[in-house]
Amino acid sequence: MTVNSRPARPARPVILGQNQYGKAENRVVKITRDGATHHIKDLNVSVSLSGDMDEVHYSGSNANVLPTDTTKNTVYAFAKEHGIESAEQFGIHLARHFVTSQEPIRTARIRIEEYAWERIEASDAETGHSFVRKGQEVRLTQITYDGSSWEVISGLKDLVVMNSTDSEFWGYAKDKYTTLKEAYDRILATEVSGRWRFNWTDDEQRVPDWETSYEQTKKHMLQAFAETYSLSLQQTLYQMGARIIDNRGEIDEVRFSLPNKHHFLVDLEPFGLKNDNEVYFAADRPYGLIEATVLRDGCEARIPVDLTNL
Ligand SMILES: O=c1[nH]c(=O)c2[nH]c(=O)[nH]c2[nH]1
């Protein structure tokens, strides 16, 4: 049966809703060789396209469908042809390509995770070609382009941080189920998942230096975590976001999802020992989950509330 002889959209009280497609999790590693000194970019790139795709769902006509296999090939070809300066620059390039080269494709969303590598120090000097994977965090970006406007949301996940003092939690609401003891010197630890939205909207004007922006944003966030004398994780979260908004003019919105990695003092009395804020039980679950958006005054919140969807 040819495509044309297939039945058109069936006469049923059913319609197609939001849809998107593409190749997810394209792992691309780009080595740039500068003599004996090599540089690595290690990305996990997910392409998601949407637009005039009714027919492929209704009748099976693939005329508007650029194969997901092609989107995968484009990721690898672009790594060679254009290089990977930053995850954001690479994502912008890909998004623009899909929307401007295929008429039926109206919106491209490119999500990228970046894994960092650090040079191994040999006994005499740094090596040019040996690396150890940096375990700290996964860097993230999401680029969305609809042919006229851009949205760039970057961030990170899996960044585990701890303050071994300067954290209290007391004065909270209590009811008959409250057993938590007030804490005047506790451990504050979390695994930061954060996203920040850039106010960059145009492809030519004021393009942020994406690499510097990431490093500086992470630095301000960590300094705020370290320097805030915390009365709650909520207060610390707000300070982390506010520090970014205050210092990074290219960012209008920050959202954090911070699990409170509880450290409970162990009762050592049964062993005749005094626990002087030294020995803790690190609980993995359940955990408090503190989430909030911090915005530049007058700006709109657009980062999804549930960061697992981003
Ligand atoms: O920083 C905290 N915020 C809370 O809301 C909370 N609730 C709780 O039991 N411990 C904590 N700690």
Paired tokens of 122:
């040999």
3 state DSSP class of 247: helix
Q: Give me the residue label for tokens 């469908």.
A: 65
| Res 271: pLDDT | 97
**Dihedral angle of Cα 182, 187, 193, 198, to the nearest 10 degrees:** 90
| Long-range residue pairs from 177-186, CB within 8 A, at least 24 positions apart, any chain | 185/277, 186/263
| Res 1: pLDDT | 47
Q: Which pLDDT band, with edges at 50, 70 and 90, does 159 fall under?
A: very high
Q: Indicate if ligand 1 lies below 6 Å from the C-beta of 235.
A: no
Paired tokens of 268:
């050592």
169 labeled binding residue: yes
Backbone conformation region of residue 207, classed left if phi is above 0, alpha if psi is from -120 to 50, else beta:
beta
6 pLDDT exceeds 90?
Answer: no
pTM of the predicted structure, to 2 decimals: 0.92
Phi then psi dihedrals of residue 212, to 5 deg: -65, -40
Averaged over 93-111, what is the pLDDT?
98
Separation of CA 64 from chain center: 31
**How far apart, in whole angstroms, are the C-alpha atoms of residue 207 and residue 199?**
10
Residue 191 CB coordination number (10 Å)? 16
Q: What is the pLDDT of residues 209-262, one digit of tens each?
A: 999 999 999 999 999 999 999 999 999 999 999 999 999 999 999 999 999 999
Ligand 1, from 186, 232, 235: best to mutate by most atoms within 8 Å of Cβ? 232
Give the list of residues 6+ apart from residue 148 with CB closer than 8 angstroms, or none. Answer: none
Q: Is 181 a catalytic residue?
A: no
Count Cα atoms within 13 angstroms, Cβ side, for 300.
3
Does the structure's ipTM exceed the value 0.90? Answer: yes
Q: Is 68 a catalytic residue?
A: yes
Determine the length of the chain.
310
Cα of 153 vs centre of ligand 1, distance in Å, is 28
| Res 3: pLDDT | 54
Hey, what domains does the chain have and what are their CATH numbers? 20-148 (3.10.270.10), 154-310 (3.10.270.10)
**How far apart, in whole angstroms, are the C-alpha atoms of residue 279 and residue 273?**
11
Query: How high is the mean pLDDT of the chain?
Result: 94
217 labeled binding residue: no
Paired tokens of 37:
């000194």
